[in-house]
Chain A
């Protein structure tokens, strides 16, 4: 029976993806950038849309929400997965609304006035059946995939507007987006990059070799030297793991100190972050859920009587950030909430 085959094939794929996610950070599993992770998630969601059994948009959303919950639970630190699930849910809502004929505009616009008058936000049940819904949703997901494919290029294209000749630029650790951004600028301009090595994993070394290969003048510094070097720096350009709802960052450990040093010297801090890193999460001080604490092996070999902690991420508050550069252009941190509301439906914030 082909249907059953499809079903088991699908569950197998989901399980494999979940297992990959769980082993994500260990180095034993396939280590991937968040861009790739976003794409993988979307592929999987497209497959679910195509192969799972559903008759109405409501069913489909329920299925995707369930799977999304499991995926985010498998690796809470990987927010991209949850973001992509929300994006797809939003797509389904839009396609459903379009099939029904109601304009998406009215659905989307949520002014304060409307919130006050409307009372019930959404009484929508998504139970109606449309023949073309599946095809439309898949089509829209494909569009999302093309958008994902182009993000890094879109960001890199804006490089010349921000990097000028003979500037000194500081970055921290390794970010694929920042690397592409700097490389793009290096085609036309000559500038100097200082890379903080970002111990204990020292991704900065990798970044530096990557940059020097295309002829950018690169210097690697220890994390402790960040403040001392900051006075010479014209701009700080860094990547991030997640952009939080308030415009803050969850970025690799050491970013906060870079941001504080930059603020002290009034150096602009520019974040290169594609849209899929925007997450409706907010920062809470008491929980470590934002902060993935890794195994401490790179820090120390096993010692008996020493407690070793090795947090992987820093929280950077939005006040320290000058500008976000995303694939759709530059934005101030205070505008992030707006982008967020365009990307995700408010009901999907909590999966």
Chain B
């Protein structure tokens, strides 16, 4: 399956390589570099490339390329999904996934990769299992280790790998037993020029942070599970229970994990929490244009909209922007041609407004198209779909855990066309 892995940074240096079978020369990456050059932006590099002897499957993440070489037929998603899992594991271990951090922890990274794949086939990809074998670095431990020459490899053997619930380690102990659930909903929408909804849907995810001792068996139920149209679960969730009773029954992994993601059926009309009045135009002559944006709350269920931010990818001809905002700050990056207006909290009494002029490259023709607006926002304590967690029950352990649920609504891929 996966033959070799190369980590490549933004400027095209291979800074880590790992081979699970015979060594594949790093010159194989030259094909990739060629494709990278042709593609323009890194997002446009084809994830699968064919070379005379190998197939290169790559992902681009956190400004790094994870490039794997395979020699025979393999489902491409298999490799892609695995590479993302690797990146997530780095994130999990080191707090971020960047070249510097990987270089600093190269031995741990190498050990991790060694454990995650055996002969190119995934072996242990559960973070709980891996953490038993290879301890993640902490500041304290790295200090202690440098002083004593101590180790990061776990002394104990990973029993989790052997159990039938590999996602949970045994013998978990906490003094405060807590279980928190964040219900995060994202609105994906496309609005057209006039503000009417072209397409809108709600995607939700339940992130859990479970710190419970022993082997708790949890059951989470919803007030209105009928809202959920399509779901995907962490492997710990018992699917049969969901099918029959519409409750989530699971023995949770220890720590943070994504319990489920869901999609709210599209029959329900999606409440769009904000509206944008916009007018962006370029003049036929004079190499300039004007911009006028006003945002206001629409259907917010009585909550305040926070973290409002509008990002606009301007046409390449736009050189600079001379704008004034009644609220928040704005920046225009003339290199990436991105205008960002950070509005902050939305005040329904005094609607924030951004207006001013755009100056264009002299001589350039008037841009044909208007840029679309990408909107970010956040509403605390509201799940826009109306989903509600009913109750959480725990079986199998005797203590009383502390339970909490938090709701947040965010804008996902929220775009306004102009």
Q: Do A and B come from one complex?
A: no
The interface of chain A, by Cβ under 8 A from chain B, is none
